[in-house]
Structure formats: structure tokens, C-alpha cells
Amino acid sequence: MLDCILAHEFSHVQQGYLVDSVQQELIAYQAAAKIAHALDYTVGKQLYDRFLALNPANSKDLDTVLALILDLASGSLPTQTIYKSLPKTQPQGAADTAIAAIRQLSAAGIAGIQALRK
Ligand SMILES: [Zn+2]
């Protein structure tokens, strides 16, 4: 399963964006699903297969992705807080990227407080 998490995080590194988005989360979870299949991880396939049929360019699919990743993070309010702060699609241009970065940093601050309250 660590391989799936590494694939997810490596996908983010490869994306090379300053800020995250639901769209990029889908691509990263699809990478995790492909590793789960390549290594035949039953649990990994159960967790990540739901992402394989979804299209990063489809707005309705991205709504589904947000619901799925909030479900995956159901045990962690701080993680949910950060996921909820993500723009649906990858921000384009400096202003949109800066706004998304401020939202994500604010969410990270709130998530930090939530983590301390546990
Ligand atoms: Zn991610």
C-alpha cells in the first residue's frame, strides 16, 4: 500500500504545480490505482479503482472525485478541510494560483488547529 501512496505523491511531484486541485488529485489517485493493479493489491484496488473511470477534464466527474476523496479522508477532519479548500480544476495564471494558494494555506492552518484539538 505504501507503493500506492508513493505513486500518488510522485504524481503530484511530476505535475509540478505550486497548488493542488481536485483535478490533480484525480490524476494522482489514478496513478495509485495503476500501481495497485500492477502489484495486485486487493485493498489498493478496492480503494482506488473508483477513480479509474473518471475523466480529469469532466466537471461532473470532478464533483464525484471530491466526494470520493472526502470519503477516503472520513477519518481525518484536517485532511477533509484541506481537500474542501481545493479548486475543482487546476488554476491557470498567477492571480488564480495565488488565490488557490491562499485558500490552501488557510485550510492548512485550520487543519493544524483541528489536528491539535484531537
Ligand atoms: Zn494528493
Verdict on whether the full-model pTM lies above 0.85: yes
| CA–CA separation, 109 and 115 (whole Å) | 10
DSSP state letter for 48: H
Query: pLDDT tens-digit profile of 58-75?
Result: 999 999 999 999 999 999
| CA–CA separation, 30 and 97 (whole Å) | 23
Q: Rounded to the nearest whole angstrom, what is the distance from the C-alpha of residue 51 to the centroid of ligand 1?
A: 13
Q: Rounded to the nearest whole angstrom, what is the distance from the C-alpha of residue 95 to the centroid of ligand 1?
A: 22
Judge whether residue 1 has pLDDT over 80: no
Which pLDDT belongs to residue 118?
Answer: 73
Amino acid identity of 28?
Answer: A
